[in-house]
Amino acid sequence: MTLEQKHHESATVGQEVIIRERRLGALLTFQGKGSDLMKLAKENPEGCCHDNYFNQCGDCSSQRAMLPISQIRDAALVNHAPIGCASDLGQFNAQHRRGLRYNAIPVQNIRALSSNLTEKDLIMGGENKLAAALEEAYRRFAPKAIFVTTSCASGIIGDDIEEVTLNAEEKLGIPIVPIYCEGFKSMVWTTGFDAAYHGIVRKLVKPPRERRNDIINIMNFSNQHAFSPLLAKIGMEARYLVHQASVEELAHISEAAATGHMCETLGTYIAASLEKLYGVPELKSPPPYGSLWTDLWLREIGKITGREKLVEKVIVSERKRIAPELEAVRKKLEGRTVFAFGGASFCHNMLALAHDLGLKIVGMMGFHHDMTFDNDYEEIISLKNTLTLVGNIGSYSVCNKQPYQMIKILQDIKPDLVMSRHESLPTQAVKLGIPTFFAADANILGGYDGVVTTGKRILGAIKSRNFVKNLSAHSREPHSAWWKKQKDPFYFAKGKRL
Amino acid sequence: MSLRQANSYKEGSFIDRPRHTCALGGALFTLRALSRVIPIIHASPGCGYNVYTAFNAGAGYLGGGYCGGAAWPSSNVVENEIVFGGEDRLKEQILSTLELMDGDLYVVVSGCMVEMIGDDLLTVVASIKDSPAPLLAVPTPSFKGNSYDGYDIILEGLFEGLTRRQTRKEKGLLNILGIVPGQDVFYRGNLSELKRLLEALGFKVNSFFGDGEDISSIRRAARAEATILLSDVAGQKAASFLEDARGVPTLKLPFPIGAQETENFLKGVAKALGLRDSKVQKLLSFENRRYYEYLERAADIYNDIDLQRYTVIVADSNYAPSVSNFVSEELGFVPVLTVVTDPLTEEKQKEVLLRFHSSGDLPRPLVRFGTQTSDSARFLREAWAPVSNHRYSFTLSPGLVIGSVYERELAEDYSLPLVTLSFPATNRVVFQEARAGYLGGLTLASEIFTTLVSGR
């Protein structure tokens, strides 16, 4: 696909989003230096997505699409799937309740149904059942919109989701938003984020009534309002999206002055879509992690909204404000080594932060890698930004959430600290006795205050290692003696095939 | 109340915020609960992790354990395999797993997609001759059933693959079935408590998932004198297999919570296995004395501040009757509504209804069957319509809700305190504590009372 085609297709409002393997040349396996990956992306922007011939369970588009939309506070969700695909609604419910409480919105459970496809439906088709589930969701929850997420099963039997949702839309008089996120379609589960945002842009976002020069969209994971105090200093407001947002709020995200994101992996697709369809510019800067990137981020906002002078003043005063505390934290962290793993671009953010704190970066592992992003702006290529900021990264790997590889790499590098995002995986480091800092709430790490806060929390993690030490002394690794002796974590990507 | 009215579950209808997962999910968490067993998932990417997320959070943060969570081997088949078949990919995944993962048993399980495209797990597994430990395949597609079914399907598969019919039984050896790891948030504590009591009577117990057990307990299952089945639903198939194909009779008893039910349970086992009465009496008198010495502590506060409560219970068919009986018969509470949440056929519903006792002057509580999470609120509205809006009119107060975290809304709507005990229980981290037996009953009573005085 040429770049031009890619641009055209990615941000239009066709039925389905193009999967990341095709759209962004996403990779799932790589090992080398950071600069090697950069070079590879230049030489081969279409990538070559292949997987290992031993795999541990990863993640799927469906799960990643369902999480953000289950958090939209006055919509309902119908998962058109066998019951198992709705398994983690309980977890999403816990997350939603926490988010609502934090945002001082009346706390309620998520509103979600499974169409519960059974063996009979897989033979006879599940369209009637979906129609019934949509009506039921409307009756039970009185939602402002209903999302429908698809599944491997609904995809294989070929249910006509467009038709069912259009009919229901007519009957119920609210937007019914199909999200095409069948797990088998993409090996790259972050395609699910794109699928969710695609549905939102396609069905919910309306053309702008006005342009709000004081509002910025922030695509983020958990809606902590950590950027608001900083933005207030330049007279701006953040609209945190999409968790705990309302359908009405989503309708008007086309009116913002710009779209920023806390992670390019998460937000660049919707940012590019809003730019192409409604002229909302995507911020051409790295996200605000670490002092320098926060400077760049504020300057870009200043440039777009005509607040350049004010921004420069704020940068000087903010930097001055945090300087004493930052200096003290840096001194205490000096010389400590850090390894990061997480979604590719958020890993880059954590490294920018680690660099600002004076930690020594010894490597990172991204869960996939996008060779390009939807907007071809040099300024948003997170790998390039990272290498420019922190220098080359000696041990850079891309690995699709595979603990057997993670353990080997960590055993080899033995960092003082692991920084991570993505639940359940830091356990692998803990079992090796390595303290971890988990970026549970990505927003808290952002901005100038985020640097100091994170530094202090890392100090805490390094200082008291007793839990980690105790557990590592008593945990068992499920790998064979042969694998423990194997030198190459990527043996199963390169070794002889069956 | 006619059963028809009570039945909101229609076979195969949509489900609002399900309180269970699929057959694959039940199978994986059953395997997760066995020591050093390596599952090999033949499914789309995401199936394994999705189920892990469900149980980790919902089952009191159970964790991935030895080989679970993100570490479960999985073929992660995608579009290519749908077109060309996934058997080659499965074989590759099995061979690499055998090389890389260290376990006492390898079990191939499947998700919907590979079953829909017709992959044959059994043939693939049969083609692999060289394995460091036994290798089995058990198809567990999601559309075949829920997680309670998955528990049955996988255990039947393990019994079939790892046991032979034994003519000589091992005296005093018992199996326990019917407690589903994960769906029962307290499964391990429950098994451990029941095992403690049975061992005190001189039995040896295969609880399969208990402290210190490993897959040798599965291997020994066919040598047992009997299988104690503690559910009307889960474990039925696995127990029938042991009975029909391996000659181990099934002894079905209610899932016991608290002194009274546990006493009945122990007497039931003793009677069926021909144990001397005096031996049972000795244990019962010790356990009962200890139990009531503790429970008596609550007597002063119970009477001083009126801890007797109207109770709404929302739980699966193991817990719903047992908790309902426990709070009414032991704590003297008044159950006003009990909702049974797992998907049950009408026939099963009839069986479960029989588990509810009527106690003293109290009629049986209103029992409704509702798999939908929003059912409970509807049932309660029907059962307890406010008589008037008068400020001092009689309301559902003082009350208590015992259920899952999904009952928070219901509890808030009626301003009632909530004790969580059923899946999903994302608000608790559960280790060894039990809800079954004597000690489990005490823990439950203590938690209920703690909740009621927690504002003090």
Name the segment(s) of chain B with CATH classification 3.40.50.1980.
23-145, 173-273, 298-453
Residues in chain A within 8 Å Cβ distance of B78: 184-187
Check CB contact of B80 with chain A, cutoff 8 Å.
no
Using a CB–CB cutoff of 8 Å, tell me whether A100 touches chain B. Answer: no
| Min Cα–Cα distance to chain A from B69, Å | 7
How high is the pLDDT of residue A227?
Answer: 94
Choosing among A28, A54, A87, which should be mutated to test the B contact, i.e. which has the most B CBs within 10 A? A87
Share of chain A above pLDDT 90, in %: 86
Q: Which residues pair with B105 in a beta bridge?
A: B37
- Supply the angle between the helices B258-273 and B277-304 in degrees, to the nearest 10: 170
pLDDT in tens, A306-335: 999 999 999 999 999 999 999 999 999 999
In this structure, what DSSP letter does residue B128 have?
A: -
Query: Which pLDDT does position B391 carry in this prediction?
Result: 60
Pick the CATH number of A3-24+206-305 from 3.40.50.1980, 3.30.465.10, 3.30.310.80, 3.40.50.300: 3.40.50.1980
CB contact under 8 A, B57 and A84: no
Query: What tens digit of pLDDT does each residue of B368-402 get?
Result: 999 999 899 999 988 876 656 666 556 788 899 99
Chain A residues with beta carbon closer than 8 angstroms to that of B79: 184-185
* B63/chain A closest Cα distance in angstroms: 8
Least trusted range by pLDDT, from A271-280, A298-307, B48-57? B48-57
The two tokens of residue A60 are 């799927």
Cα(A452)–Cα(A444) distance, rounded to whole angstroms?
10
Contact B74 A404 (CB under 8 A): no
Chain A residues whose CB is inside 8 A of the B13 CB are 116, 129, 132
Give me the mean pLDDT over the A53-80 stretch: 95
Note whether B101 contacts A479, CB cutoff 8 Å.
yes
Q: Is the pLDDT of residue B362 over 70?
A: no
- Calculate how close chain B gets to A81, using CA atoms only, in Å: 9
The pLDDT of A183-202, averaged and rounded, is 95
What are the strands of the beta sheet with A256-261, ordered from one edge?
A: A237-241, A212-219, A256-261
At B7, the pLDDT band (50, 70, 90 cuts) reads very low
User: Residue B56's closest chain A neighbor by CA?
Assistant: A91
Chain A nearest C-alpha distance from B348 (Å):
20
Q: In the structure, what pLDDT confidence band is assigned to residue B41 with cuts at 50, 70 and 90?
A: very high
Q: Tell me A17's DSSP state.
A: P
The strand pair at A112-114 and B15-16 is best described as antiparallel
* Residue B425 pLDDT exceeds 70: yes
Tell me if the domain spanning B23-145 has CATH number 3.40.50.1980: yes
What is the CATH class of A61-188+190-203?
alpha beta
Which of B86, B24, B142, B80 shows the shortest CA–CA distance to A184? B80
Helix (H) or strand (E) holding A7: helix A3-10
- Residues of A12-33 as b/e, b for ≥16 C-beta within 10 angstroms? eeeebbbbbbbbbbbbbbbbee
pLDDT one-digit tens code per residue, A4-33: 455 445 445 688 999 999 999 999 999 999
- pLDDT at residue B12 greater than cutoff 80: no
Taken as a whole, chain A contains a residue count of: 498
Q: Is the pLDDT of residue A211 over 90?
A: yes
Report the pLDDT value the prediction gives residue B10, as an integer from 0 to 100: 57
Contact flag A401-B41 (C-beta cutoff 8 Å): no
Residue found by looking up tokens 């958020």 in the block: A346
Q: What is the pLDDT of residues B148-195, one digit of tens each?
A: 999 999 999 999 999 999 999 999 999 999 999 999 999 999 999 999
Mean local confidence (pLDDT), B328-334? 93
Fold of B173-273: Rossmann fold (3.40.50)
Tokens of B384: 């307890």
Is A421 in the B-facing interface, judged by CB distances under 8 Å?
A: no
CATH number among 1.20.1070.10, 3.40.50.11900, 3.90.1300.10, 3.40.50.1980, domain B298-453? 3.40.50.1980
Supply the pLDDT for residue A61: 95
Half-sphere exposure of B317 (CA within 13 A, CB side): 24
What pLDDT shows up at residue A90?
A: 85
Does the pLDDT value for residue A1 go beyond 50? no
ipTM surpassing 0.90, yes or no?
yes
Q: Is B360 exposed, middle or buried (0-12, 13-18, 19+ CB in 10 A)?
A: exposed
B97 in contact with chain A, both atoms CB, cutoff 8 A: yes
pLDDT given for residue B8 in this prediction? 41
* B405 to chain A, closest Cα gap in Å: 8
Task: Find which of B9, B20, B51, B53 to mutate to test the A interface (most A CBs within 10 Å of its CB).
Answer: B53
pLDDT above 90 coverage of chain B, percent: 84
B202 interfacial to chain A (CB closer than 8 Å) = no
Which tens digit of pLDDT belongs to each residue from B91-147? 999 999 999 999 999 999 999 999 999 999 999 999 999 999 999 999 998 888 899
Q: What pLDDT shows up at residue B393?
A: 57
Is the pLDDT at B234 greater than 50? The verdict is yes
What's CA A299's distance to the chain center, in Å?
24
HSE, side-chain direction, 13 A CA sphere, residue A489: 24
State the pLDDT confidence band at A49, using cuts at 50, 70 and 90. low
What number of C-beta contacts closer than 8 Å exist between A and B? 256
**CA A268: distance to chain centroid?**
10
CATH dotted code for A326-485: 3.40.50.1980
B377 close contact with A: CB closer than 8 A: no
What pLDDT is stored for residue B305 in this prediction? 86
- Pairwise CB contact (< 8 Å): A53 & B67: no
Dump pLDDT digits (tens) for A90-120: 889 989 999 999 889 999 999 999 999 998 9
Stretch(es) of chain A classified as CATH 3.40.50.1980:
3-24+206-305, 61-188+190-203, 326-485
